[in-house]
Amino acid sequence: MPMLKNPSTKYRLFKPIDLPNRQWPTKTLDKVPRWLATDLRDGNQSLVDPMNSEQKWRYFEMLVGLGFKEIEISFPSSGDTDYDFTRRLVDTPDVVPHDVALQVLSPCRQDLIKRTVEAIEGAKNAILHLYLATSPCFQQIVLSQSEEEGIVLAVACTKFARSITKDNSSTRTHWQYEFSPETFSDTSMDYAVKICEAVKAAWEPSESNPIIFNLPATVEMSTPNVYADQIEYFCQHITEREKICVSLHCHNDRGCATAASELGQLAGAQRVEGTLFGNGERTGNVDLVNLALNLYSQGIHPGLDFSDINSVIDIVEESNNIPVHARTPYGGSLVQCAFSGSHQDAIKKGFQARKYQGLPEKDLWQIPYLPLDPQDIGRTYEAVIRVNSQSGKGGVAWVIQRHLELDLPRGLQVAFSKIVQREADARSKELLPREIVKLFENQYHLKVNPRFTLVDYSITPDRSMTPLPDGAPVEGQQIRSQNTQNSMRRFDGVLDFDGTEHKISGIGNGALSSLANALHSVRIDLDVAHYSEHAIGSQKSRNVKAATYIECTAAGSNERVWGVGIHEDVVQASLNAMLSAASLFISSRPNTPMPIQH
């Protein structure tokens, strides 16, 4: 068995900055940032097979449809695909809405900046984005550059960029400028501020057209609070703050990109760069769906429309050729779904309370275990509860309720859930709703004929006032009274038992009890212990039926069986329920002698 090596000489604890008066911990995230989607650049550059022009086009249209106003569309100097795509977007009328700015990225190299500007020139609104790494690690290892040389290069490139963009008198574009001190989160804060001051002086931003300083956690190096400190430090120390838009660009190496982006906003950032579902280099960029819906589920509209999240997922998955993980916040296929019994029970009670109990703030979403209403992102309640061997009665009852409109009484929930549990254990897999419904219909003979069926019957007032035979059931309070004047009823009928007909008759104080009494003659001695009913179907369509549930105890034993009957006629529904229980009873006792032939 290999042992994880001692890391203490190989890796270092990240050294936090000293920020004694930090303000961000007491702030609340209640503002919507400027969103920048970099799926078509940072996301795209990390794919095994980068998107082709058609895929980029479709993705771009989706981003616009979702409401993004700033979209990083390409790295035009990387090659023809990105360059041509950029030009195609710029040159095709009516594709880019007037209020959408197209962002393009270039390294600090004049030839590449020139090509980048050529690609985007003519766009109504463009953001030219340059990057240069500022951490000691990158300066020493990658760029072979001193801090001073870095500043000189950044300033020279900014001035060059300026000369061919906003200072170019023939430009048709409204230019914004973004500078990213790449690897900001591993940079000395004083140096980060210093290089940005120099870039700012070179660009000369205004309040109405601020420069964007995008402060990336190019590689996530620390806990999110440290990143927030760095952002607050930068915001405190950079001058002319009103001419600056501070932007975040968090990667997810430690799995904290969402937290870092949220805390970074508390620390003063106004803008967030990321991708849908967090595609991007290595573990990805911050997930903008996550951030946006975090705001939404706090009652703040993020300005992005994820009301049809499944369509978004389809396009993202097809374009990236990477599946959205089932546990991805909000979007994952299993995120609004519970398998475990106690979660299902709580969710079911939550929906019941929402429907039936006038909760104090009736519109407020208060469903246990579901922080967001699945319908808000275009999902239904159907799959909120799914059933496997970890599930309980509540989950099973939910499925039956949603698919058959049956509100099973608690005892029946318990009884049926045992059957489902057995089946799920035996199969070691999830039971689909249609399989659960079929189990229920088979168990209670809703579709298949019960072993007992009534070929013919009549229920008449018992004028003979015959005394009740021994053991004839007296219907309980919950049993519907059939007659107030003469409480006794006589049941006469022909019963088919497994293909053989039997004449039966009995007396009781209602239809149900007279049938139960009549069943004595075929050696079925059942007492009704529970009876309940409700209507199903819509009153409007006049397609209303009665659903009846009875629980019977076998005379002289503790055995209990449930029966379910559904019929347009309420009396027939209760007789069906009785026969359903009787069928279950006889099937549960393989050694029961055949009923007496008449």
Ligand X SMILES: CC(=O)SCCNC(=O)CCNC(=O)[C@H](O)C(C)(C)COP(=O)(O)OP(=O)(O)OC[C@H]1O[C@@H](n2cnc3c(N)ncnc32)[C@H](O)[C@@H]1OP(=O)(O)O
Backbone phi and psi for residue 250, each to the nearest 5 degrees, phi listed first:
-100, 130
72 strand-pairing partners: 103
Q: Residue 143 binds which one of ligand KIV, ligand X, Mg ion, none, with CB within 5 to 8 A depending on kind?
A: ligand X
Within 70-89, the residues that bind ligand X by CB under 6 A are 75, 77-78
Within 36-65, the residues that bind Mg ion by CB under 5 A are 42
- Axis-axis angle for helices 257-266, 288-296 (nearest 10): 60
Q: How far is CA 74 from the centre of its chain?
A: 30
Report the residue number, 276 or 575, with the smaller CB distance to ligand X: 276
Contact range with ligand X by CB under 6 A, out of 91-99, 105-113, 203-211, 221-229: 105-113
State the number of CA atoms in the 13 A half-sphere of 380 facing the CB.
4
Query: What's the closest the beta carbon of residue 249 comes to ligand KIV, in angstroms?
Result: 5
Within 493-532, the residues that bind ligand X by CB under 6 A are none
Q: Residue 45 binds which one of ligand X, ligand KIV, Mg ion, none, with CB within 5 to 8 A depending on kind?
A: ligand X
Site membership for ligand KIV, residue 251 (CB under 6 A): yes
Report the residue number, 261 or 482, with the smaller CB distance to ligand X: 261
Contact range with ligand KIV by CB under 6 A, out of 156-164, 214-222, 409-417, 438-446: 214-222
Query: What's the closest the beta carbon of residue 143 comes to ligand X, in angstroms?
Result: 5
Site membership for Mg ion, residue 345 (CB under 5 A): no
Report the residue number, 216 or 331, with the smaller CB distance to ligand KIV: 216
Helix (H) or strand (E) holding 224: helix 224-237
State the number of CA atoms in the 13 A half-sphere of 279 facing the CB.
27
Site membership for ligand X, residue 452 (CB under 6 A): no
Return the structure tokens found at 467: 């005394």
Binding string to ligand X for residues 368 to 397, with x set by CB under 6 A, is what? ------------------------------
User: Which residue among 27, 69, 109, 237 contacts ligand X (CB under 6 A)?
Assistant: 109
Return the structure tokens found at 576: 């069906």
Report the residue number, 220 or 527, with the smaller CB distance to ligand KIV: 220
Within 190-219, the residues that bind ligand X by CB under 6 A are 218
CB 406 within 8 A of CB 437: no
User: Which residue among 56, 166, 194, 249 contacts ligand KIV (CB under 6 A)?
Assistant: 249
The SS3 call for residue 387 is strand
Site membership for Mg ion, residue 186 (CB under 5 A): no
Q: Residues touching ligand KIV: how many (CB under 6 A)?
A: 10
Provide CB contacts within 8 A for 576, sequence distance 6+.
Answer: 450, 548, 563, 564, 565, 566, 567
Site membership for ligand X, residue 59 (CB under 6 A): no
Q: Residue 265 binds which one of Mg ion, ligand X, ligand KIV, none, with CB within 5 to 8 A depending on kind?
A: none
Per DSSP, the residues of 152-213 read HHHHHHHHHHHHHTTT-TT--SEEEEEEEEETGGGS-HHHHHHHHHHHHHHH---SSSPEEE
Query: What's the closest the beta carbon of residue 233 comes to ligand KIV, in angstroms?
Result: 18
Q: Residue 233 binds which one of ligand KIV, ligand X, Mg ion, none, with CB within 5 to 8 A depending on kind?
A: none
CB 342 within 8 A of CB 390: no
Q: Of 229, 239, 277, which Cα lies nearest the Cα of 257?
A: 277
Query: What's the closest the beta carbon of residue 220 comes to ligand KIV, in angstroms?
Result: 10
CB 507 within 8 A of CB 466: yes
Site membership for ligand X, residue 416 (CB under 6 A): no
Within 244-303, the residues that bind ligand X by CB under 6 A are none
Q: Of 280, 281, 283, 288, which Cα lies nearest the Cα of 312?
A: 288
Q: Residue 214 binds which one of Mg ion, ligand X, ligand KIV, none, with CB within 5 to 8 A depending on kind?
A: ligand KIV
The SS3 call for residue 459 is strand
User: Which residue among 39, 42, 72, 121 contacts ligand KIV (CB under 6 A)?
Assistant: 42
Site membership for ligand X, residue 107 (CB under 6 A): yes
- b/e code 326-339 from CB counts within 10 Å (16+ = b): eebbbbbbebbbbb
Report the residue number, 269 or 454, with the smaller CB distance to ligand KIV: 269
Per DSSP, the residues of 492-558 read EEEEEETTEEEEEEEEESSHHHHHHHHGGGGT--EEEEEEEEEEES-TTTT--EEEEEEEEEETTS-
d(CA 505, CA 490): 7
Site membership for ligand X, residue 533 (CB under 6 A): no
d(CA 492, CA 485): 20
Question: Which position's Cβ is nearest Mg ion?
Answer: 42
CB 479 within 8 A of CB 513: yes
Backbone phi and psi for residue 417, each to the nearest 5 degrees, phi listed first:
-65, -25
Site membership for ligand X, residue 160 (CB under 6 A): no
Site membership for ligand KIV, residue 497 (CB under 6 A): no
Contact range with ligand KIV by CB under 6 A, out of 47-55, 213-221, 401-409, 474-482: 213-221
Provide CB contacts within 8 A for 137, sequence distance 6+.
Answer: 183, 186
Q: Of 176, 76, 173, which Cα lies nearest the Cα of 122?
A: 173
Contact range with ligand KIV by CB under 6 A, out of 212-220, 315-323, 531-539, 587-595: 212-220
Query: What's the closest the beta carbon of residue 284 comes to Mg ion, in angstroms?
Result: 9
User: Which residue among 165, 214, 319, 328 contacts ligand KIV (CB under 6 A)?
Assistant: 214
d(CA 82, CA 548): 66
Within 100-139, the residues that bind ligand KIV by CB under 6 A are 105, 131
Report the residue number, 105 or 293, with the smaller CB distance to ligand KIV: 105
Report the residue number, 178 or 462, with the smaller CB distance to ligand KIV: 178
d(CA 72, CA 288): 14
User: Which residue among 39, 182, 273, 287 contacts ligand X (CB under 6 A)?
Assistant: 182
Site membership for ligand KIV, residue 271 (CB under 6 A): no
Site membership for ligand X, residue 344 (CB under 6 A): no
Q: Residue 580 binds which one of ligand KIV, Mg ion, ligand X, none, with CB within 5 to 8 A depending on kind?
A: none
d(CA 436, CA 481): 34
Q: Which residues bind Mg ion (CB under 5 A)?
A: 42
Q: Which residues bind ligand X (CB under 6 A)?
A: 42, 45, 75, 77-78, 107-109, 131-132, 142-143, 182, 218
Q: Which residues bind ligand KIV (CB under 6 A)?
A: 42, 105, 131, 180, 182, 214, 216, 218, 249, 251
